[in-house]
Homo-oligomer: A and B are copies of this chain.
Amino acid sequence: MTQERTKLWYLKNLDIFSRLTEEQYKLIDKLAAMRPVKKGEVLYFQGATDKKFYMLKKGAVKITKLTSHGNEIILDIFSGVTLFGEIGVLNPQERDESAVVVEDGLICTMTKEDFEKLVQMIPGLVIKMTKIIGLRRWKIENKLLGLLYRTVEQRLAITFLNLLDDFSIPRGDGYLLKIKLTHKDFADLVASTRETVTVTLNKLKSEGLIDFEDKYLVIKQVDRIRSLAE
């Protein structure tokens, strides 16, 4: 657990574009096309072959994967300034995930060609990105591992804790998750069904562990959620 937190901390604080010269920043700014994105917009689809990578400036994005059975699983949801979709420029091939905007925001994109120009100018950039990818994949692997051997209730508890990292706002004794997720979203996060999530969420609410405030989830008793997740 301590180890995990350390790694996540590292991921969050890995600033790929730190310690650059003013010129370099300008170059990046010139090469990266920024545009506003709205909730629901699909940035790229599983199977796409675009050679771009993405930087999230504002808003939130989910990375999803469609299984052969038609189940959609959400591998990751994140907000804040970060980069994703790097496979498009580092090792281009069919994307095996989709990226969907879950909260209006700002996105920058950069083509492989421009990225390669950048790499010439900024040594060490590839290494940094590689580390970020590695940590993100590690996070996802751990998430999936956490879903096995656990009940839906426990999986939800884990998911709440994960979401706290990126979306928490203090609210009374607990935290409000500043991201609107449907029961279907939760189901896709924990590899379950919408109906089961509805029931489980309401059970947790009736037990006082969580609550809802204007469609936002409030984690009222973080400690009890944590002990559920083990």
How extensive is the interface on chain A, given as a class?
20 to 34
A145 adjacent to chain B (CB < 8 Å): yes
Q: Is there an interface contact between B147 and A96, defined as CB atoms closer than 8 Å?
A: no
A191 adjacent to chain B (CB < 8 Å): yes
- The verdict on A137 contacting B144 (CB below 8 Å), with A149-B67, A149-B69 known, is no
A141 adjacent to chain B (CB < 8 Å): yes
Cα distance, A69 to B140, chains bound together (Å): 19
Cα distance, A58 to B7, chains bound together (Å): 33
Interface string of A143-170 (1 = CB under 8 A from B): 0110111100000000000000000000
Which residues of the partner chain B approach A144 to less than 8 Å between Cβ atoms?
A: 141, 144-145, 148
Interface string of A83-97 (1 = CB under 8 A from B): 000000001011010
Q: Give A143's nearest chain B residue, CB to CB.
A: B144
Cα distance, A109 to B140, chains bound together (Å): 29
Which residues of the partner chain B approach A196 to less than 8 Å between Cβ atoms?
A: none
Which residues of the partner chain B approach A147 to less than 8 Å between Cβ atoms?
A: 148
> Which residue of B73, B134, B145 contacts A137 across the interface (Cβ within 8 Å)?
B134
A25 adjacent to chain B (CB < 8 Å): no
Q: Is there an interface contact between A73 and B141, defined as CB atoms closer than 8 Å?
A: no
> Which residue of B3, B69, B91 contacts A93 across the interface (Cβ within 8 Å)?
B3
Could you jot down 15 A-B contacts, CB within 8 Å?
Answer: A7-B93, A67-B145, A67-B148, A68-B230, A69-B150, A69-B230, A73-B145, A91-B131, A130-B130, A137-B137, A137-B138, A144-B148, A147-B148, A148-B191, A149-B191
Residues in A lying within 8 Å of B, measured CB to CB: 3, 6-7, 65, 67-69, 71, 73, 91, 93-94, 96, 130-131, 133-134, 137-138, 140-141, 144-145, 147-150, 191, 230
